[in-house]
Amino acid sequence: MLSSALSFSLMVVCVRQVGSRIPLAEVVLARALVSLVLSGWLLRRAGIPALGHNRGLLMVRGLIGTVALYCVYGAVLRLPMATATVLQYLYPTLTAALAWLLLGERLGPWLLLAMLLGWLGVLVIALPLESAGAPASGAALDPLGILLAVAGALLTSLAYVSVRRLGRSEHPLVIVLYFPLMALPLSLPAVLLDPVLPSVAEALWLVGVGLFTQLGQIGLTHGLSGMPAARATALSYCQVVFAALWGWLFFAERVDGRTLAGAALVLAATMLSR
């Protein structure tokens, strides 16, 4: 789970490098192509049948994961890296609730408090407070970016619960393979309607998107297959720290008090949801 968090944070850096010119569908398509090649090679090398057993749920997981990826990438392009990552990290609390509802996993007594703290964290980040007639502090955040981040968190939690369920019968590489199998047909039509030829540098960044997302997915799938969903996802919260660091180093982004306060609330929610 820790290696997954590092990989996903580097994936975000790559997305930000190309997102100003390359259409979102093309970024998702490039990520899917890299994942398809790597997953197919790893499955063949391991001698594992590629199609799996529970193909219906595998396809649903791939579909949900694809839509979640569009939301996450869209939020990353509209919000500072640390802010987008903090909002995405509503998913551990949502994962714990859905794992209880759908999988019958044990529900901790603090989950309702965790959900309250998590959504309070979103409000602190999205709706900066105004003081006695003074304007709200900090720059206004893009409302669509906030909506995409929250939608991405919800869809991510659904995808992770499905991974947890599939881990009982499917090899992690098979689960990973179904993402590009669904993402390719969903992304290709949009790319064909509005293709943009990437430069050499942009092509390398696109390969980085696919490579780091693949590494993140493999680490994530192994982690979720071997641990309870809530506990496993809580470990990956260090992605927020990585995102803040890369945002500062590569994009001169500062982490303001709102983001820190919201991050503290979401972190508390994450820890309580285990």
Cα distances from 62 to residues 30, 59, 86, 268, in angstroms, run 16, 5, 24, 30
Query: Is residue 274 scored above 60 in pLDDT?
Result: no
Query: Is residue 130 scored above 50 in pLDDT?
Result: no
Residue 135 lies in a domain: no
Pick from 6, 88, 35, 4: nearest CA to 206: 35
Comparing 86 with 137, the larger pLDDT belongs to 86
Residue 23 lies in a domain: yes
**Alpha-carbon gap, residue 269 to 261, rounded angstroms:** 13
CB-count burial class (<10 Å; 0-12, 13-18, 19+) for 80: buried
Say what the alpha-carbon torsion angle 139, 144, 148, 150 is, to the nearest 10 degrees: 60
- For residues 14-38, give the mean pLDDT: 86
Place of tokens 């006695």: 132
Q: For 12-55, list the strands marked E by DSSP.
A: none
When divided into structural domains, the chain yields a total of 1
Residue span of the structural domain in which 51 resides: 2-128+140-272
Query: Is residue 38 scored above 50 in pLDDT?
Result: yes
Q: Cβ neighbours of residue 110 under 8 Å, at least 6 residues apart?
A: 272, 273
Out of 12-26, 105-119, 157-171, give the one with best mean pLDDT: 12-26
Whole-model pTM?
Answer: 0.74
Residue 154 lies in a domain: yes
Out of 135-144, 157-166, 229-238, 263-272, give the one with best mean pLDDT: 157-166
How confident is the model at residue 137, as a pLDDT?
Answer: 46
Residue 231 lies in a domain: yes
Q: For 98-243, list the strands marked E by DSSP.
A: none
How confident is the model at residue 205, as a pLDDT?
Answer: 92
> Of 62-71, 195-204, 206-215, 262-271, where does mean pLDDT reach its minimum?
262-271
How confident is the model at residue 219, as a pLDDT?
Answer: 80
Residue 35 lies in a domain: yes
Residue 40 lies in a domain: yes
> Of 46-55, 113-122, 184-193, where does mean pLDDT reach its minimum?
113-122
